[in-house]
Structure 1
Amino acid sequence: MSCASGRPPGTGARNSPHADQKTDHATGRNRVNPNFRALLLASALSAVAATAAQAQAAPGAPPQGEGDTAPSDEIVVTGTRVQGRSRLDSVSPIDVLSGAALRQQGTTEVAEALASITPSIDFPRASAVDGTDSIRPATLRGLSPDQTLVLVNGVRGHASALVNVNGSVGRGSAAVDLNTIPGVALERIEVLRDGASAQYGSDAIAGVINLRLRQAREGGGATLSYGQYRSDVKTALASRTAHDGETWSASAWQGIALGAEGYLTLSGEYLHRNPTSRGDLDTRATPARVRSRFGDPAVEQYTLYANAGLPVGDGWELYGWGGYQHRDSTSAAFPRVPSNVNNVAALYPDGFLPLINVRSRDLTLATGLRGEVSGWKTDINLSYGRNQLDFRTRNSLNATYGAASPTDFDDGSLIYDQFVAALDAAREYPFSGGAVNVAAGLEYRREGYEIRAGQPESYNRGPLGGNSALTGGAQGFIGFQPSNAVDRHRNNVSAYLDLEARFDGGFTIGGAVRGERYSDFGETATAKLSARWDAADWFALRGAISSGFRAPSLQQSYFTSTASVVVAPNILETGTYPATSTIAAALGGLPLEPEKSVNYSLGFVLRAGRFELTVDGYHIRIRDQLALSENIQASFSPQVATILAPFGVQAARFFINGITSRTQGVDIVARYRQPLGSSALDLSLAANFNDIDVTRVPTSTATLNPSPTLFARNRILTIEQGTPRTKIVGSADWTLGDLGITARAAYYGDVLQPGTVAASDIHTGKATLVDLEARYTLADRITFAIGADNLFDVYPDKVPTALNSTGVTAFPYYSPFGFNGRYLYARVGVRW
């Protein structure tokens, strides 16, 4: 997409320092990695907690109260193919997040709700980065958004058609849009924090997010909520009060009986959200005022989902689900002041603010049949997913048409679809006093990717195109050209074998292997070995070693466009080309290869009465990681200028392999439940300490002399420090009869938004956000709730005036908690 807020390419890379040190890029001196100290501290705290809990677990400890369900009783289906396995009995670390916990917040976005209660997940709220404003990616353990596999009811979900080509977290990724499924449709979410490519296939390098849909034969409910930001905005140049981002949402669900045992659960949600604006004063024109709309986009969307199951025959069940979402989202590019050479005074005497409209139509369909064949639990399923993004540029112009230019442009479309057919079978055999579960399966997947061109005025150079100072195409977002149009497909066949054996003495050993064949790059194989030892009823050790991979997406392989990229103070027409194209090959491009990883994890589980604690350390090494190259400008050398000239662009970029990174850290999750007479208190504390180090970057393979930098300082630091290295979330849920109160505090470590040199780096600073919600249920049916997200109106650090000449990016858009301030809301729900 065009990059309304793109940064100029940087120069230079560095060698990786020792594991417990990093180079301070501002001073060049080595410094002790703060996360290394945090890991030591976390280990010490965990040891203390384990000692205390061991004392609690001594004989004579009071039993749980009658009817008090232990938090460890949640049965999981992710990360294991053994039926009846609970969350705390699993070999790998798994978070189970209830639909109620997701919905008892001010946000209606599943990704944001998930990030607010899960420290290992982040959901940056980038702005002025075009399509990524509307289709935001989430990250797990700081890795690329497309290195986490997303399942729906255990079946692979489809990615968005968008590839993030701008200067935001997740640049270069094409990930699943978690917000295409409404919270009202979810029963719970399971997050597997471990490599799982051998179990589930491509993309599961960081882990797996499994969205479990609600299943109900009866009952129903409806919810209406309203909220808005009420915040004191303090930018570098001015302060003001903001009352914006008004959000209305209405949702409902209904369970319907199908026959004697079948079910059909219908869910729907409507959302209307006004935009927010957090820009600074623009001093380029008089009078100085806020000309940008730096914040959340305006959104109007509706989503419908159905989930069904019906017994058929003897012990067989026919099941399926389907969903459709229509999202209309409008964000803003950089404002054009009256004196801008690409402004036409006859159309916009006071300048203009280009608006980028993205209409997303997302479809999901799945059906399957499961039952038993000769003792084998068998599941056959088919699924289809499709995402279409239609782009428009509004309130804009094509300067090369002068006063005759349209002001509203059809920019074309991106389309991605995926068909999956799978067969899974599992059977448990008694073995040596225990049992071994044998699972095997086959999967066929077909993917398609298409780019459709926009109207000619959205990309053409018009009658004034001979003036090289004027930028062709729609300002803010140049449309896709006929030369950008593609229609590509590929297929994949895979097979896996998964064994999990339980022995006397509390030992569990698991192993999985998977082979895959892609029509476009060949074969690959992955494996996983995991083990668990229950040393006592209250304590267990667990660990795993696995290899993983991620195939280059069709979006990364074939995306092509011409975009307006801001390289202050200029706007450059920049082409994005397939790695195997003539222009990319001349600049250093090579055919893309899969990413490969090795994942090590080791941890323990401790439980004593109503207390539970899990600590899991991990070490992930990724090689041949994919990324988008720097914008290689014509000004680099006459040779580059000659290569770019026939394409009518001033810069070019393409996808490359070759990054090697090391990610290590620890996840800590503690929980305690305590009945208090007629009330109850549920306490939880979770933390993620994460450290990423880029140890190798790609160098040019072109015949250019000198060779341009393909991957520069700001891209390296985005991977290393673009997400929090420390995130801690603590919450308390207190109930007394019909009254309920939830308090949550989230601490975010400092995040770096890097520039091309250290002097242009921007930090978010450390921050703690507090959320508070109170609920009251009337007649056991109607629930009223009021609350505040970010109660104390916390913002990231301001962008200094020296680094914000346009006044647009007043706060770092890398901020993991956004930059909108306090959000107040009210909600009423009824159930029947």
Structure 2
Amino acid sequence: MSFKHTTANPARAVLALSLVGSLGLPAYAQQAPAATAADAAVQTVVVTGTFAKNRRTLDTESPVDVISGKELQASGSTELATVLGRLVPSVNFPRPSGADASDAVRPAQLRGLSPDQVLVLVNGKRRHTSAVINVNGTLGRGSAPVDLNAIPMTAIDRIEVLRDGAAAQYGSDAIAGVINIILKRGADGGELEAGFGQYDAGDGEQASLKGSAGFALGERGWVRVAAEVADRNPTNRAGADLRNPREPRYGQVNQRLGDPASKPRTVFVNSQYALTDSIDWYAFANYGERDTSAAATWRTAYTSTSPTAPLRSTIFPEGFLPMQNSTSLDQSLVTGLRGEAAGWRWDASVNHGRNTFRLELDNTVNQSLGATSPTHFYAGKLTSTQTLGNLDVAREFPVAGLAGPLTVAAGLEARRESYAIGAGEEASYIGTGSQGFSGFRPADAGKRSRHNESVYLNLEAEVTDKLSGGVALRHERYSDFGSTTSAKGSARYAFNDQVAIRGTASSGFRAPSLAQQHYTITTTNFMLINGQNTAVETGTFAVDSPAALALGAQPLKAEKARNLSLGLQWQPSRNLSSSLDLYQIEIDDRILFSGNLNLANTGLRNDLAAQGVYVGAARYFTNSLDTRTRGLDWVSTYRLNLNQGERLDLTLAYNRNKTDVLRVSPNPELLGRNKLVLLDRQTIQRATVGAPEDKLNLSADYTAGKWNARAGLTRYGSFTVPQNDPAMDQVYDPQWVLDLSGSVRLSTQWKLSAGIDNATNRVPAQITSLGNLNNNGINRYSGYAPNGYNGRYFYAKAAYSW
């Protein structure tokens, strides 16, 4: 969904000024001429959230961060989510380890909410979600969001991050906001870049090669191709294993705690062709594969510390580290026609996306098979697909008494989604299953689908020279849980050329994903029982399965949200601007993954056994929590024009938010009778205190002719890793992290860059030994840490452009 716009200037100085109106059609953004450099210094035309043509950042009603391609490249990381976590204070991207598939597909948060409560668009079109659902003890537990790292940065022109509820504009998932990724366009120019980096500890080497080039399609069109390949070696910050002196590898580092090994390969294509003077055809597509090798938990040689304990495996008499080797395959195609007729701008498109996650296990055994066990297992695969069609129209109407035309926009959307689980080989699930990850069983396998239809209407106008506003209304009908209607109103009032206030009020929703409704697996999980990490066969059950119903499960319903925001804008001069936005987000019936229900010594275990389900613990999804998130965003930018050819851009960006629990649903009576709690304290607290309470970004970007230098100082606020026993919580102090980079342009084509991420080599405090949470000092760091725990990273890049 998009309309014409003026191309954004990449200067960081416009970050704070990027705002959004009511409803956007970003595909049309590819048609307008570029702004002059002088104009871009004071304005950026955004396409996220508005149908109005040429809506400037200074005129819109809701805040958006505009991140240029230049900023994305000013980092040593090749992961999009990592870079966004450093540049945008409201984005949090932790780096879990030892969390099964979550190691390979890590979730990002916006405003401390669930990763699947932010909508991701590419060129204004809804992006498909990952097939992976995060079911271990990480932030974002229970979510199945978009895999941001499947999108290569070399394909991106800029990113617009809408920090406001937008379900009335875009539909499900846009509770916390919208991330709209705008691809590079046009036939002119190209670039090729090679990079290499390594951590100060001597590991985690990363080599990358990426490029982008445009080609003309005659005189009426163009196609742009971007490609990226990388090879990232693993890191390891685990401690020595001192648990059992009898172990053959006692005192050695057996566990691997850190980033997994990863090899992404991605191609993105963006294109446009003028069929007639008034009709354009456009298409963009991607194909990507990412191989990841992540470690599970080290299996000791002996099954316990008892002197008479038997060997765990005769195949690995010294113990073994199971390796989870996965391949994530990501594909998408969006194509459509757009044009103008009888004064109406229209856009009709078809959008298909597919993500497949295939998992294999190596260096492990199935203990129940004894000496005949294989050491390689195919554990199965997950597949998520999305197909949708859109028709969007918009037109300006002159209205007597209004300072500007009334923009009327309307549209229709039909979407079909599916989610499939493919069973692994028999050896991966029979008996105790393959160690590290028990495969999907035939009983787990299957495919579920649903469809929904929606209609929306959007109105926006300049009411007077000082007052603008908009309203949006959207109705959706889902085949699996019913209908929902969302509304939004927004307004902005300019007291003068320097000061303005803005505000929005909206309702929203997020439909339960198919993965949350139907994900099923039985695997080995480690639970804290009597102060010890204990391996327990744990069943994850679909909410409509007989096993879940026997444990009190109820059908999932949509999350409902109410968003309020109020902001102040101040621009005393052309080069200085500041904005402060306060917000409140109330969410009813949040979908959470239950705590692990320990079925030992309960009759429920026997009830499941009677169904042929033999597990020691169970879990399922539930609507059982209402929350309220309150926070603020403050962004200020200042540009200093120094001597001829010299410029200094300064930015201060700050986010603070706090989430409180408003209601917890009563515990199911069935569980209560067995002294079990569906939502334990840890599950609830993870949704409220696990993300940093605030984040501050200070950056300085200096340019002098062919030289450029950049410094970014980030303060990550305090966060808590909760446990069911409050005495075992660990509260982490704030941390300051400094990133430095510089570049020199050797010629009009060649550019060299180098930098240090985390130059101060800051890592979070180590996990305390309370309750054996750090596995006797082996797992030294928490995966909740917003800046990771790998330490200082050095990198260098060489780029050739034309």
Are 1:785 and 2:753 an aligned pair?
yes
- One of 496, 507, 514 as aligned partner of 1:554: 514
Instruction: Work out the CA distance in 2 between the residues paired with 1:186 and 1:668.
Output: 26
Larger mean CA deviation between 758-767 and 147-156 belongs to 758-767
Q: Deviations over 1:44-79 (max 9, x none)?
A: xx9xxxxxxxxxxxxxxxxxxx95454442111101
For the pair 1:604 / 2:604, whether they are aligned, the reply is no
Match of 2:123 among 147, 153, 159: 153
Cα distance in structure 2, aligned partners of 1:345 and 1:363: 40
- Tell me what 2:210 maps to: 251
Counterpart in the other structure of 1:354? 322
Quote the residue 1:530 is aligned against: 490
Q: Which residue of 2 aligns with 1:468?
A: none
Unaligned runs of 5+ in 1: 1-45, 47-65, 231-241, 462-471
Q: Aligned partners of 1:345, 1:706: CA distance in 2, in Å?
A: 36
Aligned: 1:165 with 2:124: no
The structure-2 alpha-carbon separation of the partners of 1:358 and 1:88, relative to structure 1 and needing over 3 Å to count, comes to farther
Matching residue of 1:697: 664
- Counterpart code for 1:382: V
Secondary structure in 2 matching 1:324:
strand
Structure 2: distance between partners of 1:597 and 1:684: 32
For 1:75 and 1:808, how far apart are their aligned partners in 2? 51
Structure 2 counterpart of 1:587, one-letter code: L
Work out whether residues 769 and 776 of structure 2, in 8 Å CA contact, stay in contact via their aligned partners in 1: no
Equivalence map 1:393-472=2 (5 Å):
393-431=361-399, 432=401, 433-461=403-431, 472=432
CA shift, 1:548, in A, is: 0.4
Partners in 1 of 2:311 and 2:43 — Cα distance?
Answer: 63
Corresponding residue SS for 1:243: coil
Paired residue for 2:549, among 585, 600, 604? 585
**Which of 571, 595, 616 is 1:630 aligned to?**
595
Deviations 1:754-783 (A, max 9, x none): 122123222332101000001000112111
- For residues 552 and 343 of structure 1, what CA distance do their matches in structure 2 show? 45
Aligned counterpart in structure 2 of residue 801 of structure 1, from 766, 769, 789: 769
What corresponds to 2:11 in structure 1? none
Aligned to 1:401, the other structure's residue is in SS state helix
Amino acid at match of 1:652: A
Q: Which residue of 1 aligns with 2:8?
A: none
After TM superposition, give the deviation of residue 88 of structure 1 in Å.
Answer: 2.6
| Structure 1 contact 633–652 (Cα < 8 Å) conserved | yes
2:642 maps to what in 1? 676
Q: Deviations over 1:638-657 (max 9, x none)?
A: 34443356301111110000
* Greater alpha carbon shift after TM alignment, 338-347 vs 106-115: 338-347
Length-normalised TM-score, structure 1: 0.88
Q: Secondary structure at the match of 2:62?
A: coil
Task: Map Cα deviations across residues 443-499 of structure 1 (whole Å, 9 max, x no partner).
Answer: 0000011000000010001xxxxxxxxxx0010100000000011110010000010
Q: Does 1:133 align with 2:103?
A: yes
1:37 match: none
Which one of 594, 608, 612 corresponds to residue 643 of structure 1? 608
CA contact (8 A) 1:140 1:206 kept: yes
Give the distance between the partners of 1:354 and 1:699, measured in 2 at CA. Answer: 40
| 1:716-761 C-alpha deviation (Å, 9 max, x unpaired) | 2111111111100010000111000000000011111112212322
Check whether the contact 1:561–1:577 (CA below 8 A) recurs between aligned residues. yes
Deviation for aligned residue 1:363: 0.1
**Does residue 260 of structure 2 align to residue 297 of structure 1?**
yes
Indicate yes or no: 2:531 matched with 1:572.
Answer: no
Structure-2 separation of matches of 1:786 and 1:745: 17
- Distance in 2 (CA, whole Å) between partners of 1:730 and 1:227 is 24
Does the CA contact (< 8 Å) of 1:87 and 1:95 recur in 2?
no
Gaps of 5+ in 2: 1-15, 17-35, 305-309
Match runs of 1:452-531 below 5 Å: 452-461=422-431, 472-531=432-491
1:67/1:412 CA distance change after superposition, 3 Å = closer
Q: What's the offset of the Cα at 1:806?
A: 4.1
Cα distance in 2 for partners of 1:95, 1:116 equals: 13
Q: Which moved more, 1:715-724 or 1:592-601?
A: 715-724
1:583–1:644 Cα contact (<8 Å) kept: no
* Further displaced range: 185-194 or 674-683: 674-683
Distance (Å, rounded) in 2 between the aligned partners of 1:166 and 1:82: 44
In structure 2, what residue type is equivalent to 1:633?
N
Q: Would you say the 8 A contact 1:579–1:585 is kept in 2? A: yes
The reply to whether residue 381 of structure 1 matches residue 317 of structure 2 is: no
Q: Does the Cα contact within 8 Å between 1:290 and 1:807 map onto a contact in 2?
A: no
The answer on whether the counterparts of 1:344 and 1:402 sit within 8 Å (CA) in structure 2 is no
| 1:187 aligned onto 2:157 | yes
Mark the CA change 1:779 to 1:765 in structure 2 (over 3 Å): closer, same or farther: same
Distance (Å, rounded) in 2 between the aligned partners of 1:407 and 1:634: 31
Matched, 1:729 2:729: no
1:314-353 aligned at under 5 Å gives the runs 314-340=277-303, 344-353=312-321
**Is the 1:698–1:710 contact (alpha carbons within 8 Å) kept by the matching residues of 2?**
no
Letter paired with 1:716: I
Aligned 8 A contact 1:585 1:702 in 2 = no
* In structure 2, C-alpha distance between the alignment counterparts of 1:332 and 1:72, rounded to whole Å: 49
Question: Is 1:619 equivalent to 2:619 in the alignment?
Answer: no
Alignment of 1:266-305 (within 5 A): 266-286=225-245, 287-305=250-268
| Distance in 2 separating the partners of 1:591 and 1:691 | 29
Shift of 1:343: 5.5
Shifted more, 652-661 versus 691-700: the winner is 691-700
Rounded Cα–Cα distance in structure 1 between residues aligned with 2:485 and 2:463: 28
Q: Give the letter for the 1:489 counterpart.
A: S
What amino acid does structure 2 have at the position aligned with 1:88?
L
Distance in 2 (alpha carbons) for counterparts of 1:268 and 1:67? 29
Question: After superposition, where does 1:758-769 map in structure 2 within 5 Å?
Answer: 758-769=726-737
Distance, in Å, in 2 between the alignment partners of 1:430 and 1:69 is 27
RMSD: 1.4
- Contact 1:304–1:323 (CA under 8 A) maintained in structure 2: yes
CA distance in 1 between partners of 2:601 and 2:390 (Å): 50
2:784 to 814, 820, 826: 814
C-alpha distance in structure 2 between counterparts of 1:644 and 1:828, whole Å: 61
Rounded to whole Å, the distance in 2 between the matches of 1:525 and 1:152 is 24
Give the Cα–Cα distance (whole angstroms) in 1 for the partners of residues 784 and 618 of structure 2.
24
Residue 32 of structure 2 is matched in structure 1 by: none
Q: Report deviation, 1:805.
A: 2.9
Inter-partner Cα distance in structure 2 for 1:346 and 1:162: 33
Q: Is the 8 A contact 2:550 2:607 kept in 1?
A: no
Name the amino acid aligned to 2:576. F
- Greater RCO between the two (CA within 8 Å, min separation 6)? 1
Task: Report the secondary structure of 2:75's partner residue.
Answer: coil
Residues 668 and 678 of structure 2 are in contact (CA less than 8 Å); yes or no, is this contact kept in structure 1? no
- 2:548 is paired with a residue whose SS is helix
1:743 to 685, 688, 711: 711
Q: Tell me which residue corresponds to 2:20.
A: none
CA distance in 2, matches of 1:801, 1:754: 14
Do the aligned residues in 2 keep the contact of 1:285 with 1:338 (CA within 8 Å)? no
Q: Distance in 2 between matches of 1:511 and 1:681?
A: 39
Q: Which residue of 2 aligns with 1:34?
A: none
Contact 1:763 1:797 survives alignment (8 Å): no
